Structure 1
Amino acid sequence: MEPGSVENLCVVYRSHDFLVVNKHWDVRIDSKAWRETLTLQKQLRHRFPELADPDTCYGFRCAGMGHRFCHQLDFSTSGALCVALNKAAAGSAYRCFKDRRVTKAYLALVRGHIQESRVTISYAIGKNSTEGRTHTMCIEGTQGCENPKPSLTELVVLEHGLYGGDPVSKVLLQPLTGRTHQLRVHCSALGHPIVGDLTYGQASGREDQPFRMMLHAFYLRVPTCTERVEACTPDPFVPALDACWSPHTLLQPLDTLIQVLRTAPDPGPTEGGAGPCSPSAPLPGPGQPPLPPAKPPETEAQRASCLQWLSEWTLEPDN
């Protein structure tokens, strides 16, 4: 996967109601700063000018696209991102995210060789109030951690190898909750920060070597009421694309886990959820059925958030 440009947006799924794109690393989804030279919003406008909303007083050049991003990816994270092409589709996708019916899986390279084949990471995550770190998150029990919330990530080790001569593990991550920076914080708390993570990585000076943060949204499935939106993006963490990465021990074939992900049943609809960023059941191992997650009833605040989310559909992004 080459660096992002306005012209090289990769679409991995398209229907009448949805797109799934393979977002480049170090690209923002959208931006309010006019100086932002490249955003996913601009890539979409370039690739699909027919999707631009003509009904704005500013005309096409400054018009908002007739779409809505169904979820978020960090600036530094690459991979599958779902875009709804109309308001009805956006509402349907929102319901899937809120009811934890969405299946997500990420690939990452992390520092060190993880000895366990599978790890469940359950550190509660809160906002960091420490001066100079207020833009970051932290785990419960650390200094300055405010309002930590339960968080759960499943990690499966795929390969051991070396990155630039240092021991590294390639892992598959499934977030079972949707906290800000959850995968990055959980990997760091486990003692195996993501390679190239300048915020939560090691302070040893080694993070100046990787050309990107090695976190990629690999698989996404959104079972809406009208269609099953499903996309699997190419694996960017292979030696052919990055000569610094040299795997030497295979622990779990990725193809096997892809098949498990694809054949796992969609979680059934529920009467509640934990918000638009909450994924579904944990990744099952071969022969293991997915575990049903706990789903508290929808609160008034969550319902208000949903209504606000949908009402903003017609708002024009300030680029």
Structure 2
Amino acid sequence: MEPASLENLCVLYHSANYIVVNKHWDIRIDSKMWYEKQTVQSQLKHRYPELADPYTYYGFRFCHQLDFSTSGALCVALNKAAAGHAYHCFKNRLVTKAYLALVRGVVTEEKITLDFAIGKNTTEGKTHMMCIEGNEGCENPKPCQTELTVLEYGAYDGDPVTKVLLQPLTGRTHQLRVHCSAIGHPIVGDYTYSLRTDDAPYRMMLHAYFLHIPLENEPIHVIAPDPFVPSLDSKWAPQRCVNILEDLLKNILSKPQAEIQEDPEPVHRSSSYPVESEEQQAQCQQWLCEWNLD
């Protein structure tokens, strides 16, 4: 993908109810800051001004979150009813997500279930970070599970790395980044969770590759093309394939979702008032934060 601009929004799926975009890396979904002109919100308004909803703060209802540094599949609801149907799928643990990542070092085990409770880091200078239970300053840790499967071994810019598929079984802020760092294999280009040492790559190598939302009347099944291939990044040199990505996706879809995930607080909506109240916006934002998986 080329760097983000207002014009180059990549749409993977579009219907009367939903749009799924391939979000660029290093771009926010939305922002209240006047100086941040380039967001997914502004890209959508530029491409589809007629679809913006004046009764919502941002104009569009984002069904889940992706971090600033993460690229990949992001679903947007185009009306209140569609947002409610998507919310139902997330609340009932029916949504399936899978991410691609390049991580530092050689992950020796072919498949690992990462099981570290994650909480907010209250240590001075690290309050923007999350950390695993047992670390000093870890506040209110919650159970978290991620399944990691090795895809390929290789090198990035001459250093050993492993290409992996990450399936979050829970939804916690920075979950995938924290879990990879916790086992000594931080994501390539993750400046924050490499303790500010990994700053050479042009981006963080985490990508929301697969999204499946089993909506009753309109199931969404989207793949955002793999950006971690030598033809797009010559610094990535795969050397040995361990698992085939397409086969892993078939296995993922056949499994039930994990029961450990906590239910988000329900968002109560009134059909009598078209404008969302501040309380509704706050409740919705709290739910979205629980799905900021990267």
State if a TM-score over 0.5 links the two structures.
Answer: yes
1:291: how far off?
4.5
Look up the match of 1:223: 214
Q: Distance in 2 between matches of 1:186 and 1:296?
A: 16
CA distance in 1, matches of 2:109, 2:132: 22
> Do the aligned partners of residues 215 and 315 (structure 1) sit closer, same or farther apart at CA in structure 2, a change above 3 Å counting?
farther
Map Cα deviations across residues 149-183 of structure 1 (whole Å, 9 max, x no partner).
10000000000000111100000000000010000
Which sections of structure 2, spanning at least 5 residues, go unmatched? 282-294
| Mapped contact 2:99–2:165 kept (Cα < 8 A) | yes
Aligned pair count reads 278
Matches of 1:6 and 1:292, distance apart in 2: 36
Is contact 2:96-2:257 (8 Å) kept? no
Which amino acid is 1:163 matched to? Y
Change (3 A) 1:30 1:260: same
Give the structure 1 partner of residue 19 of structure 2.
Answer: 19
| Matched residue, 2:227 | 236
SS in 2 for 1:178: coil
2:244 counterpart residue number = 253
- Which residue does 1:33 correspond to in 2? 33
Question: What SS class does the counterpart of residue 193 from structure 1 fall into?
Answer: coil
Is the contact made by 2:117 and 2:133 (CA closer than 8 Å) also made in structure 1?
Answer: yes
Alignment of 1:81-120 (within 5 A): 81-120=74-113
Report the identity percentage: 60
Cα distance change of structure 1 residues 240 and 43 upon mapping to structure 2, 3 Å threshold: same
- Residue by residue over 1:267-316, the C-alpha shift from the partner in whole angstroms, topping out at 9 and shown as x without a partner, is xxxxxxxxxxxxxxxxxxxxxxx255326896xx823xx22799897479
Q: Secondary structure at the match of 2:13?
A: strand
User: Partner residue of 1:294?
Assistant: 259
Gaps of 5+ in 1: 57-62, 266-289
Measure the CA separation in 1 of the matches of 2:49 and 2:193: 38
Choose the corresponding residue for 1:122, options 110, 115, 118.
Answer: 115
- Could you tell me how far apart the structure 2 residues matched to 1:32 and 1:41 are? 11
**8 A contact 2:12–2:21 mirrored in 1:** yes
* Alignment RMSD (CA, Å): 2.4
* Structure 1 partner of 2:289: none
Partner amino acid, structure 2, of 1:235:
D
Provide the rounded CA distance (Å) in 2 between the counterparts of 1:295 and 1:251: 29
| Change over 3 Å in CA distance of 1:221–1:184 after alignment to 2 | same
Q: Which amino acid aligns with 1:23?
A: K
1:68–1:313 contact (8 Å) kept in structure 2: no
Q: Distance in 1 between matches of 2:113 and 2:258?
A: 14
Describe the SS at the equivalent of 1:141: coil
> Secondary structure of the equivalent of 2:101?
strand
